[in-house]
Structure 1
Amino acid sequence: MSRARRNWIAGALSLLGELLITAGLVLALFVAYSLWWTNVLAERDAAAKGDAVRQQWLSDPAPSPSAAAGPGALDTAGGIGFLHVPAMRNGEVLVKRGTTPEVLNDGVAGYYTQPVKSALPWDAAGNFSLAAHRDGHGAKFHNIHELRTGDPIVFETRDTWYVYKVFAELRQTSKYNVDVITPVPRQSGRTAPGRYITLTTCTPVYTSKYRYVVWGELVRTEKVDAARTRPAELR
């Protein structure tokens, strides 16, 4: 092989190596953006939105809606309340209307409006069904796999704490399985109307191939006092 050909091959290999290193750096930056920086931005945005909701509660003396009043009275653009799940170690999670990326990418959870319309906690019966990201954009349901039967799930509105207990989970199902968020989620083992809560997210971690589902059932409500004393499950 001539010296010129060897030099050409060496140059080509060197260029290929540099391109591979550059591609690796670009990929690493993309992963860092997706899994870290989007969390930073989402946490910041969600905190600001959550503060705005709490300020609204302080300034607006109107009570939260009852089942008779219907959901529209509290279904504001800012959010309807806060989800607390100690086992997920995710702090308080603002809950807003809808489960589109435009909603969930802000580091919040959203309740379903389609393909099955979610009930709301103050409804007499139904399934309060929620979704949130498991990675990136706040990753509010990242630790959903830590939930076990009997663990508390608490939803906070302006005037009421709704305390649920986990009773079933489905670790993997099709993302097209809408039965898990129906008013009576039969795959959970329940066959009669009740006051349920359903948490859904993508699985496995860092993919969106399947859905992970956890179900809870309302065990009691507590009125919020002037000091907003948390229920025992959150102390």
Structure 2
Amino acid sequence: MLLLLVVHQVWWTNREARAGAQEAVRSLVREWEDPDGGAPSPEGPGEQARPELPGDLPEDLPGGPPEQTAPGGRAAPRPHPVGKAPQPPDAPRWDQAYAVLRIPGLGVVAPVARGVAKRGVLDKGYVGHYPGTALPGRAGNVALAGHRNTHGEPFRRLDRLGRGDEVVVETRDAVHTYVVSGGVPQTSARDVGVIAPVPRSAVHPGRGFSEPGHYLTLTTCTPEFTSTHRLVIWATLARTTPK
């Protein structure tokens, strides 16, 4: 019985999620190629129940997120708690794929949906876009989460990314190419600093950035088959190519 459960979790959930995610990518591409196809709505989510976080980073820390220090010793502004920040007026609807993430060096092609609920996003093999973080190509930090094991595991080999590797986020109107600049091999599940607008680890303060920019953050669980710590990859925007 235990063996059957393992087979279901590792094999069947991967097969099912990958098939659904691939179809979502094909559907998005068809919509983009057909001007009348109807892309995902740019309307904001409005008042909805806050989504379940994926276990990659918590929604809040006791007493708020740790203080970050800007150059010169000044206290940096605290980021909005995950899931509480106001949504941009052109944010896509919750749980709806609106972009495609491509990591050429890892062979990853996955749909991106706004929100990080397990049932509605991550367990479907999608990559989840943390609410309150920047939209692709915009100033700030585009923070994404994905499973490392089971349910399509799009971030299974995220630890193989190195400096200079490209990560591409394609939307209906443009292709945004980011270049990996570093990350945190292992940090606490409560290290909310890594997805701040200016990402910097609160656990490993020597890792991160000190100036505003155009950032991309990828998060997943580590070590494999656990959820005790988080692996973080950071990239910076290299170019945006309008379609």
What TM-score bracket applies, with the shorter chain setting the length?
0.7 to 0.9
Q: SS state of the match for residue 36, structure 1?
A: helix
Q: Which residue of 2 aligns with 1:4?
A: none
Q: Which residue of 1 aligns with 2:76?
A: none
Match of 1:78 among 79, 90, 96: 96
Call closer, same or farther: CA 1:112–1:37 in 2, change over 3 Å: same
Which one-letter code corresponds to 2:128 in the other structure? G
Residue 63 (structure 1) shift: 9.2
1:174-195 CA-to-partner distances (Å, cap 9, x unmatched) read: 1111110000012343101100
Aligned residues: 190
Q: Does 1:105 align with 2:118?
A: no
Q: TM-score, normalised to structure 2's length?
A: 0.73
Q: Which residue of 2 aligns with 1:130?
A: 144
Rounded Cα–Cα distance in structure 1 between residues aligned with 2:134 and 2:30: 25
Larger helix proportion, structure 1 or 2? 1
Q: Which residue of 2 aligns with 1:170?
A: 184
Q: Which residue of 1 aligns with 2:160?
A: 146
1:31-70 correspondence to structure 2 within 5 Å: 31-60=6-35
Rounded Cα–Cα distance in structure 2 between residues aligned with 1:190 and 1:74: 25
Q: Is the 8 Å Cα contact of residues 52 and 78 (structure 1) preserved in structure 2?
A: no
Which one-letter code corresponds to 1:99 in the other structure? V
Q: Which residue of 1 aligns with 2:198?
A: 184
Q: SS state of the match for residue 189, structure 1?
A: coil
1:189-232 CA-to-partner distances (Å, cap 9, x unmatched) read: 310110000000001011111100000000111122xxxxxxxx
Q: Is the 8 Å Cα contact of residues 128 and 197 (structure 1) preserved in structure 2?
A: yes
Which one-letter code corresponds to 2:181 in the other structure? F
Rounded Cα–Cα distance in structure 1 between residues aligned with 2:28 and 2:88: 16
Structure ranking higher on relative contact order (CA contacts 8 Å, 6+ apart): 2
Q: SS state of the match for residue 181, structure 2?
A: strand
Call closer, same or farther: CA 1:63–1:133 in 2, change over 3 Å: closer
Which one-letter code corresponds to 2:193 in the other structure? D
Rounded Cα–Cα distance in structure 2 between residues aligned with 1:83 and 1:49: 12
What runs of 5+ residues in structure 2 fail to find an aligned partner? 43-86, 202-206
Q: Which residue of 2 aligns with 1:7?
A: none
Q: Which residue of 2 aligns with 1:22?
A: none
Q: TM-score, normalised to structure 1's length?
A: 0.75
Q: Give me the identity figure in percent.
A: 39
Q: Which residue of 2 aligns with 1:20?
A: none
